Structure 1
């Protein structure tokens, strides 16, 4: 898994946790921390999370053999 994919996964998890809090408690953590849903910083974070989700689509549809091969190659080089 590349650095880009790991970073995208990190942001996707952050987004998923935020959505979980919204669903359970009706509280938007990103909006509360950065000045509301309409603030520039919040909108940037929402956009980054959305792009990260699109990057993760590549992982979802990648054949599992390629993922395992890539992980073994990285493990041998480190």
Structure 2
């Protein structure tokens, strides 16, 4: 698993209420990753999950029904500028 660091602003999550891990809607490639990991008895940070700090967690949670690539784009673009 990846360490708890916000994928948007790189803030380290030192306490449980600092944010959290969001699992997004799985893409076909994510389902393939899950299958390969299970078949080989492997573990790791899934490509459809990311850590978010308290500032970004709520927005990410609101978008968890989307694939991660689309959700991240929607979170990052309003932050630019």
* TM superposition score normalised by structure 2: 0.27
Q: Which has the higher strand share?
A: 2
For the pair shown, which has the larger CA radius of gyration, 1 or 2?
1
Select the structure that is richer in helix. Answer: 1
